[in-house]
Amino acid sequence: MENLKIRLTRIKWQAVRESMNQKGYATIPKILSDQQCNEFIKKYDNENLYRKTVVMERYRFGLGEYKYFDDPLPEIIQILREMIYPKLSVIANLWMRVLNIDRIFPETLENLQSLCHQNNQSKPTPLILKYGKGGFNTLHQDLYGEVYFPMQCVLFLNEPDKDFTGGEFVLTQQTPRAQSKATVLKPRKGDMLIFTTNFRPVKGIRGYYRVNMKHGVSEVISGERHTLGVIFHEATN
């Protein structure tokens, strides 16, 4: 795990902040090793690791499956959450200030979790997602309760155009009184994408205004696609 911690400490957070502020997302290459990616995929069928399985088509979420990890979380996920959250909380609090939202996020993941627990959100939210041929995920937001952090991460466990085709990551931005803007991303195996959970500020001629964001996955044409979702707030169920 030391190599993971080293990779996380070497992230150029100033560049991440600039990308999040300008675009609402930031891609950071090769956070997980191929071996770490393969281990998550290998353990996908180990039901002892998960608290809940969701078959997407039952709820019209798309076509595929995802599983929420149970406590205690895998060490890799815990390290990711604990080391990344404090960096993102600085950006999140800036967003709240410029949008004049009366909300301050704690500096540590532990304190964010305490806030969640006070609001009856005690279920872990990190998850692993699996898509086969034809799989997709409709546009959505991962909120889970009254307390939600405005950024989250996804780590890509397969190599595009080798392990699968299609299955691009899609972000949409809804600007008030304007058409939606879509961004299509294709990160590689081991890469981490940090992106906006629900809304972000955009600077206009009269100051900052709020734009809503959603994310999803385009149709997988062939192969299998797995991703690891790292969400920082907890869920009610």
Q: Set out the domains of the chain in order of their start, with CATH numbers.
A: 2-230 (2.60.120.620)
Contact (Cβ atoms closer than 8 angstroms) between residue 234 and residue 127: no
Nearest by Cα to 66 from 136, 15, 114, 160: 136
**Sign of the alpha-carbon torsion through 85, 90, 95, 100:** positive
pLDDT at 175: 80
pLDDT at 178: 78
Q: List, for residues 3-62, the tens digit of each pLDDT value.
A: 999 999 999 999 999 999 999 999 999 999 999 999 999 999 999 999 999 999 999 999
CA 13 to chain centre: 17
The low-confidence residues of the chain, meaning pLDDT below 70, are: none
Model pTM above 0.85: yes
pLDDT at 116: 98
Question: What span, in angstroms and rounded, lies between the C-alpha atoms of 182 and 198?
Answer: 15
Question: What span, in angstroms and rounded, lies between the C-alpha atoms of 139 and 158?
Answer: 21
Q: What angle do CA 48, 50, 53 make, to 5 degrees?
A: 125
Question: What span, in angstroms and rounded, lies between the C-alpha atoms of 71 and 54?
Answer: 17
Question: What span, in angstroms and rounded, lies between the C-alpha atoms of 199 and 141?
Answer: 10
pLDDT at 155: 98
Please report the beta strands in the chain, taking only residues with DSSP state E, as ranges in sequence order.
25-28, 50-55, 62-63, 65-69, 127-131, 136-140, 151-156, 164-166, 169-174, 181-185, 192-196, 199-204, 207-217, 220-223, 225-230
Q: How many other β-carbons are positioned within 10 Å of the β-carbon of residue 49?
A: 16
pLDDT at 230: 98
pLDDT at 20: 98
